[in-house]
Amino acid sequence: MVVRSMVTADGCVVAMDDATVVWKPKNGKQRRVKIEAQASVLLGLIGPRGMIDKIVAGDEYGGINIISLATMEVVDRFVVGSSKVRSLCSSSLSGESILAGCEDGSVHMVGANVPNRVVNLFELDGPASALRIIGQDLHIQQGWERKVISWTGQKSLILA
């Protein structure tokens, strides 16, 4: 059964309940890869040609999987804890580092160039259902509430 899906200009990515991620391109053969746990959130990363070339799949057990669409292989994996990953956001256009919000309220930054590959930034009073970077601030959606905070977790002076 499909648990998550994402449509791109070149095709469709679906995450199945058996922890399989499937790439269904408009032109070409369908390919798949199995990750360690069922995907809970998907994010597409734009490559140098201006098209999505990698998928980031957060999973039920705190894993963040970077998947190459060209090869359908997990090219990197980060573990931020044991809590379900609820939201993902690229912190740069190149996707060198990723922000992840978890079910337990923790917010992390992961990436190959991040110190120790994973940094716990701060804790929220509940899960972040969406993360977005605008200027120097993080905009975090928690249910119906939107928070604008700094990278340390402190309230920003900007009003949401």
Tell me how far apart the alpha carbons of residues 96 and 112 are, in angstroms, rounded to a whole number: 7
Per-residue confidence (pLDDT) for residue 160, from 0 to 100: 46
Q: Looking at residues 4-10, what average pLDDT do you find?
A: 94
pLDDT of residue 77: 97
Q: Is 148 left (phi over 0), alpha (psi -120 to 50) or beta?
A: beta
Give CATH for domain 2-149: 2.130.10.10
Give domain limits for the chain: 2-149
Above 90 in pLDDT, residue 49?
Answer: no
Residue of 157, 105, 107 lying closest to 135 (CA atoms):
157
| CA gap 125, 142 in Å, rounded | 9
Would you say the C-alpha torsion 97, 114, 74, 140 has a positive or negative sign? negative
Is the model's pLDDT at 95 over the cut of 90? no
What is the chain's percent helix, strand, coil content, to nearest 5?
A: 0, 55, 45
Distances 117 to 43, 64, 76, 96, 111 between C-alpha atoms, Å: 19, 11, 11, 11, 5
67-87 pLDDT tens trace: 999 999 999 999 999 999 999
pTM summary value: 0.91
